[in-house]
C-alpha cells in the first residue's frame, strides 16, 4: 500500500526514524513482531498525517513509501500504522507547504500550527488558512474555531474572521 513517512535528515544524506537508517530506493524488512510505537516501520496514509509526528520545519524529510507484509492500524484515528516491510520510493517536494514548528491533529480539515510563538491553521493541502498569525488558536469544531490576537476572534474554515 502507498503511504507517507517522515524522517530526521542526517548530515550524511541518509534518513532516520527511531534509531533506524533509511535510504531512498531501498526496501527494508523487519525481523520480529511489529507493534505500534514500539517496533516495525511506521507510516501514515496521508502526507498531512505525518506532520503531527514530524513537523515541516526544514529539519525533516517526507517520503512516499510502499508498505507491505504484516500491518497493524492505529485505533487513534491519526492515520498511523506499522508494517513489517517498507520501500522508500521518493522524497516529497515540500516547497509548496508552509513551514512550521509543530502541528496538532486535524479537525474539520485543519490543524493548529505553531511558528515561533504565533499560531495559525494549516489545511491538509499544506496551505495556511489565513495570512494572519495569532497569539493563540484552538482546534476547529463544526466549522469554527477561536483565535486570539489582543481581543477574541472567531474564524471559520473559509478564513472569515469575526470580532466578538
Write down which residue in 30, 63, 91 finishes a domain: 91
Parent domain of 15: 2-91
3-state secondary structure of 50: helix
pLDDT digits (tens, 9 = 90+) for 80-90: 999 999 999 99
Statement to judge: residues 39 and 109 lie in one domain: no
pLDDT digits (tens, 9 = 90+) for 22-62: 999 999 999 999 999 999 999 999 999 999 899 998 889 99
What percentage of the chain reaches a pLDDT higher than 70?
A: 98
Statement to judge: residues 8 and 69 lie in one domain: yes
Angle of CA points 20, 56, 109, to nearest 5°:
115
For the chain, how many structural domains are there in total?
2
Statement to judge: residues 27 and 72 lie in one domain: yes
Q: What is the mean pLDDT of the chain?
A: 91
Statement to judge: residues 7 and 65 lie in one domain: yes
The set of cell numbers assigned to 18 is: 527511531
Statement to judge: residues 20 and 42 lie in one domain: yes
Statement to judge: residues 43 and 110 lie in one domain: no
The set of cell numbers assigned to 11 is: 548530515
Please tell me the total number of residues recorded for the chain in this structure. 164
16 pLDDT exceeds 80?
Answer: yes
Secondary structure string (H, E, C) spanning the chain: CEEEEEEEECCCCCEEECCEEECCCCEEECCCCCECCCECEEEECCHHHHCCCCCCCCCEEEEEEEEEEEEEECCCCCCEEEEEEEEEEEECCCCCCCCCCEECCCECCEEEEEECCEEEEEECCCCECCCCCECEECCCECCEEEEEECEEEEEECCCCEEEC
Give the Cα separation of 121 and 38 in Å (integer): 30
Is 155 within a domain? yes
Statement to judge: residues 72 and 116 lie in one domain: no
Q: What is the CATH number of the domain that holds 116?
A: 2.40.10
Nearest residue to 105 via CA among 135, 140, 142: 140
Statement to judge: residues 81 and 106 lie in one domain: no
96 pLDDT exceeds 70?
Answer: yes
Amino acid at each position: 500500500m502507498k503511504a507517507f513517512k517522515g524522517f530526521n535528515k542526517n548530515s550524511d544524506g541518509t534518513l532516520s526514524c527511531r534509531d533506524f537508517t533509511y535510504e531512498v530506493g531501498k526496501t527494508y524488512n523487519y525481523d520480529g513482531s511489529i507493534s505500534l510505537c514500539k517496533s516495525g516501520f511506521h507510516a501514515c496514509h496521508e502526507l498531512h498525517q505525518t506532520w503531527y509526528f514530524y513537523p515541516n520545519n526544514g529539519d525533516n524529510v517526507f517520503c512516499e513509501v510502499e508498505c507491505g507484509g504484516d500491518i497493524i492500524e492505529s485505533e487513534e484515528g491519526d492515520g498511523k500504522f506499522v508494517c513489517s516491510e517498507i520501500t522508500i520510493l521518493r522524497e516529497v517536494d515540500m516547497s509548496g507547504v508552509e513551514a512550521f514548528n509543530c502541528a496538532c491533529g486535524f479537525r474539520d480539515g485543519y490543524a493548529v500550527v505553531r511558528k515561533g510563538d504565533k499560531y495559525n491553521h494549516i489545511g491538509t493541502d499544506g496551505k495556511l488558512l489565513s495570512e494572519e498569525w495569532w497569539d493563540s488558536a484552538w482546534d476547529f469544531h463544526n466549522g469554527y474555531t477561536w483565535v486570539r490576537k489582543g481581543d477574541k476572534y472567531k474564524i471559520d474554515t473559509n478564513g472569515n474572521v469575526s470580532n466578538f
